[in-house]
Amino acid sequence: MNLLIKILITSGLVLLIANFMPGVHVAGFTTALIVAIVLGLLNIFIKPILVILTLPVTIITLGLFLLVINALMILLCTEIVGGFSVDTFWTALFFSIILSLLQSIMNGILGEGK
């Protein structure tokens, strides 16, 4: 049940960000739902591999390279999910930052951050 709520919240946030951020296009709620699921799967399976492979760069940049990895996850998601597109790398970077912040806020409001 908890996972379903997180997926629904993430899909709502994806739709919200797409409405206010130029360069991010989502076809509809169903597409946003698929984006939330695919992003979750990419963050579970692909992101840890990238983090380990880029650990020296991440250490040198004091963790800022993790933002680049998040943007790459968004761009990979645009290749997988039809109806979801992000125009540029910089747009994906800002999208991932805003999405992460809003997810943290929602987790704090719902009391799931503990």
Global pTM reads 0.92
User: Please, which residues have CB within 8 angstroms of residue 30's CB and are 6 or more apart in sequence?
Assistant: none
pLDDT for position 99: 97
What number is the average pLDDT over the span 14-28?
A: 96
What tens digit of pLDDT does each residue of 62-99 get?
A: 999 999 999 999 999 999 999 999 999 999 999 999 99
